[in-house]
Amino acid sequence: MERILGIDVGATGIKGNLVDPVKGVVLEDRYKLKTPKDSTPKNVLATVNSIIDHFDWQGLPVGLGFPAIVQHGITRSASNVDKKWLDFSAQEFLQKGTGCPLTMVNDADAAGLAEIVFGQGKGIKGTVILLTLGTGIGSAIFVNGKLLPNTEMGHLKWKDKVLEKYMSNKVREINSQSWKTWGKEFSKGLAHIDFLFSPDVIILGGGISKNFDLYKKYLTGSKCPVVPAKMQNDAGIIGAAMSYIQK
């Protein structure tokens, strides 16, 4: 059995687990550490190394999802992480610093990959969008199973800022919004995305996907169905590991 360590770097937490990327399942209990407050490459590397140590995974393959544009191993944005990640050879830095063969992709692209192969997007012909809601909003778009990487729908212009500044899960928490208040706002974003891309389904990932039943009735904005990720919050870890074997 092939085993890869999947790591999902988020703005607040860094999670890891061993994954069977062929079956699309996690193999052990997930291990989660806080993202360092000062989320510089050096500090994030130290946390990633603690996860590698936890699984006793020195020198072995790692797939890592990261909350930024990741183009050919270079991080090209840094909305919710330290600005030192901007235009930074991140994959090479993490490979050297961990001593592990390592592939790095955008976190939402990773979650989307898991869902398109094993989850809610499996077998769907046409356009599938996955949105992952945490500190920011990430997106992945697939046409007949093929990913267009690094779309940033959370950064669509919205009022005087961008969409994620109005409707991410963090915004909901900071403003202590009810599911109804937040759901109605998020529904407007879904309507916009639905209008722009005419997807056949929108899948919601991130921590918020497990609470889907509490807000689904407010998500009336899109023509297409909106469903929670089958792998919920593990989608990012599983997809990160899958991206290692797809490289």
Cβ distance to ligand BGC smaller for residue 8 or 98? 8
35 part of the interface to ligand BGC, by CB under 6 A: no
DSSP strands (E only) in the chain: 4-9, 13-20, 25-26, 31-34, 62-66, 70-71, 74-75, 102-106, 127-133, 137-143, 146-148, 157-158, 161-162, 201-205, 226-228
Q: Of 191-220, which residues contact ligand BGC (CB under 6 A)? A: none
115 scored as a contact of ligand BGC (CB under 6 A):
no
Minimum CB separation of residue 198 from ligand BGC in Å reads 22
Q: Say whether 128 sits in a helix, a strand or coil.
A: strand
Select from 221, 220, 240, 239 the least CA-distant residue to 230.
Answer: 239
C-alpha triplet 131, 150, 123: angle, nearest 5°: 55
Instruction: Indicate the residue among 165 and 188 with the shorter CB distance to ligand BGC.
Output: 165
166 Cα distance to chain centroid: 18
Query: Which residue in the set 39, 91, 98, 106 belongs to the binding site for ligand BGC (CB under 6 A)?
Result: 106
Query: 117: which DSSP letter?
Result: H
Cβ 142 to ligand BGC shortest distance, Å: 15
Interface pick for ligand BGC out of 21, 67, 183, 228 (rule CB under 6 A):
67
Residue 80 within binding range of ligand BGC, rule CB under 6 A: yes
Q: How many residues lie near ligand BGC (CB under 6 A)?
A: 17
Instruction: Single out the segment in contact with ligand BGC by CB under 6 A; choices: 50-58, 133-141, 187-195, 222-230.
Output: 133-141
108 sits near ligand BGC (criterion: CB under 6 A): yes
